[in-house]
Structure 1
Amino acid sequence: MTSEFKEGLIEVVQAVLPITAVVILLQVLLISMPWEEFARFLIGVLFVMSGLLLFLQGVKIGLLPMGEAIGAELPKHGSLIFLLFFAFILGYAVTMAEPDVWVLAGYVDTVSEGMVSRYILVLFVALGVAIFVTLAMLRIVLNIPIAYIFAGGYTLILILSYFTPTDFVPISFDAGGVTTGPVTVPFILALGLGVTAVLGGKSSFNDGFGLIGLASIGPVLSVMILGIIYS
């Protein structure tokens, strides 16, 4: 067993053990649900731990190195349009692959009884992430202070919240949250760090981070716009 695998196993145990311990205490001291259901819970915990362990290994072996490699290659072509175009495509594609987004869209589809299609919602969320990942890349290249984009983005959110139907406001903020999932975060962070690594005068610490915060603004705005369209 390699040291990386051992570290991943420890991380998974530390992540899952607290909630498992809480549920066990509740079962013993308070809830006392049928033991068949509790046994299914314990089996589910084992499946979750196995899945997380495999996922973390996949992220370390594949997603992070590939994201950094792509981010390092794109600026070498010397075209800002080329960089921004593929930043948009990658932001869109990685959001479409994010399971958290589909879970949220499925619940919205169910609760709204099909009025808000899961596919339409995922499309708008992905477009929002793609646009703001593109803006994040532009910020890195042009050295725009990140505070300006945050201020502008959240000001626009506050303005749109007055025109968005009440039912869509909480959905829009949840959409911003689910984009910070296990697939999107490592890939976009690695992409940003790869870009800053090859651009002269850029700091990986100052310029490579903040992309996830910027990317989460996009879905909030796009779902609010979707709500206005539905209204």
Structure 2
Amino acid sequence: MSDIDHDTSRPAFALLAEIRARIAHAAALAGRKADDIELIAISKTRPAEDIVPLLDAGQSSFGENRVQEAEAKWPGLRAGRSLRLHLVGQLQSNKAKDAVALFDAIHSIDRPSLVEALARAIDAGGGRPDCFVQVNIGEEAQKGGCAIDDLPTLLKQARDAGLPVVGLMAVPPLDVEPAPYFALLAKLAGRHGLAGLSMGMSSDFETAVMLGATHVRVGTALFGAR
């Protein structure tokens, strides 16, 4: 991890350029194109005044954890801009309609009841966000995500319900080497014919890119520690 991860004295455009350069370098090492990787700036808990400099620097994809926070913050920020908004936090089924209306992608589909709620919301015409199934890749009781063994059944249900499933998402356990978990997620995605891989955060996004990530979720390296 470089000093950039916590250096908030640098202007937003410089931090953004550095992260993009690191993504491009990791992609090149893996024989990939940087343009195939979407950088999601994780703006959860960040006020509008922290987000505007990144918008002005050209960042167009942002991630939020909670529907309510995004509803309060993004309508004004989004006005007149072409942006992609991602829900990366856990989603309650009773918020499915609001999430479908607001977000361009939902990364945390992890249970049958949520599949059903999202399918109803999409069928009602509220929107059609890209859908990622979240996998509990480290089998951690405290984390969201479906069990690896349950993934085939959940994917079938989501597809049968008409959800636009584009990939898988996972968060590896803390304080361990993430590469094996990223490799496992890539293997699972390939097995199920999915191209999207939402994996990698501030401390490990370069490893994720080298192992196939199509979406990396970077917060601290762009905004600084909370």
TM-score (norm 1): 0.27
The structure with the largest helix share of the pair is 1
Greater RCO (CA < 8 Å, at least 6 residues apart):
1
TM-score (norm 2): 0.27
The structure with the largest strand share of the pair is 2
